[in-house]
Amino acid sequence: MKSHCLIKSIIKFLTLSVISSFLLADVFITELTDPQNSSDAGRYVELYNSGDSAVDLSIGWALTRWTNAGTDPQSPKYLTGTIDAGGFYIVCNNADKYNTTYGLDCDQDIGAGGPADSNGDDNMALLGPDGSIVDMFGVPGEDGSGTGHEFEDGRAERAADNTTASATWDASGWNIDNDSGGGDGNQYAPEGFDPASWIGAGDDGDDDVVATCEDDTACNTGDEGDCLYNDCAGVCGGSASEDVCGVCDGDNSTCSVNVTFSVDMSIEGASGDVKVRTSTIDGSYSPSDWYTMDDSDGDLVYTYTLSLLSGVEYGYNFNDGGYESGSGLGDCAGGNYGNDRYVTPGDSDVVLDTVCWESCEACAAVVEGCTDSAATNYDETATVDDGTCEYDLGEPDNLFFSEYAEGSSNNKYLEIYNATDGDVDLSGYSLSSCSNGCNDPGQWDYPDNVTFSATVASGDVYVVCHQSASDEIAAECDQTFTYLSNGDDVFALT
């Protein structure tokens, strides 16, 4: 019996020890990131331990994320390491990108799509071993766009005086940079970020404690202060970095060429500014700004030149107040909507062939004429319809007005009677009118101001009435028209 009680006491002690260490551990979020160049630099979440002892995060600590305005969080991503007293724990979405960008190793790579991979409009929480929220960023159920918790293309850094984990979001406890104009605006990595560093760290009144760099890969190992590293120019703590061409402190120009894009709007017509942008880079969605194209000689052929990297496949789009439809682009385009055109620049400048809007080829020569094959004057060489189409309608059917009424208020209508032996398609007919009388016989003030898309049966009438006519008239009405006569006008079935 004593042995059994002793075991129970030990279990109780261990349980209380774990709970105590959890309750006393002051671990919270100090930075959330979404760099403007996140496709290359990756993203990360930074945790800080302001307590006096290390915390084993593997006992059930986790991060979770509410996507956009979602009311339910994603499944938790459990942490696996230990965070030292006064130390940081970096959770990234891609360890290789993080290392390449900052020259450091993140403590845990939890991959894409989770709490370390937010695009800046999500909400995040740090969960304790019991699954409860220890520290909260944002408002679950509220999309961050345009709010105090948007860090899109930037970062959210905990304020220096916000030194206690909180399960409730407080906007005043964070400094936000974003592409909507918050803080210092959008931020590029690595320049705009400081992983494993926080403005509130070490602010505990103990001025006698001085940190020493203990990283053997640093250029100031053993010195007091933060660790520094050689930049690409060999300067300890310098800011120079290689551009995408591998040139130290370069501007990407050594492996870039000029690519001139050209789209012909002579057939489609331009409704406003015609623009171009790159949409993908080697298959990954990474849209550039929209650039307004130039039509200097007024021939509706628009051009624009971009500097692009050699050997990289770019998807690109044209836009004229709307995207091209992908239905006519066939094999020369692709992407989600079939309207991403593609180019892979070589080692020299290139001028792409001019293409017709929504076509893979150049525009055909503009030839005006009738483009309706049902017309008697159809022109098979015409590319633009000029409104001159003529049609052989044959002899008119035996249709006539059987009644015309101009009652009180808007109780107006007219009847068209079918005196033939068969149904008559009214689509070839119309109503034309003149106010009062026509000045010239056969010259209508309002030709074809009522058209039809209906059939009238043999021996039946087709009724056109005012839309505000009485219920009795409306019950017999087949089509409404506002401008019926007040009794002294001319109407004709034409």
427 and 340 housed in the same domain? no
Q: Which domain holds residue 92?
A: 21-177
Opening angle at CA 351, ends 345 and 352, nearest 5: 80
61 and 149 housed in the same domain? yes
Select from 299, 326, 356 the last residue of a domain: 356
CA distances from 169 to 90, 162, 174, 411 (A): 21, 11, 10, 65
277 and 166 housed in the same domain? no
171 and 97 housed in the same domain? yes
CB count within 10 Å of CB 188 equals: 15
319 and 407 housed in the same domain? no
403 and 292 housed in the same domain? no
173 and 109 housed in the same domain? yes
E strand segments, 138-265: 155-158, 174-177, 256-264
Q: Is 391 a domain residue?
A: no
CA distance 76 to 108: 14
Q: Is 241 a domain residue?
A: no
Percent over 70 (pLDDT), the chain: 93
Residue 482's H or E segment, with its range, is none
114 and 26 housed in the same domain? yes
Q: What is the largest CA-CA distance in the chain?
A: 122
Q: CATH no. for residue 488?
A: 2.60.40
Q: Is 26 a domain residue?
A: yes
CA distance 192 to 179: 13
In this model, does residue 13 exceed pLDDT 60? no
Look up the pTM and report it: 0.42
Q: CATH no. for residue 157?
A: 2.60.40.1260
Q: Is 379 a domain residue?
A: no
Select from 137, 156, 177 the last residue of a domain: 177
The better pLDDT of the pair 364, 198 is held by: 198
Burial class (CB in 10 A: 0-12, 13-18, 19+), 115: buried
CA distance 37 to 286: 9
Q: CATH no. for residue 318?
A: 2.60.40.10
Torsion of CA 319, 322, 324, 326, to 10 degrees: 140
For the chain, the domain total comes to 3
Select from 152, 177, 202 the last residue of a domain: 177
In this model, does residue 20 exceed pLDDT 80? no
In this model, does residue 138 exceed pLDDT 50? yes
Backbone angles phi, psi at 221, to 5 degrees: -55, 130
173 and 28 housed in the same domain? yes
The pair of three-digit structure tokens given for residue 93, joined into one six-digit string: 């979405």
- Give residue-wise pLDDT tens across range 25-66: 589 999 999 999 999 999 999 999 999 899 999 999 999 999
CB count within 10 Å of CB 62 equals: 19
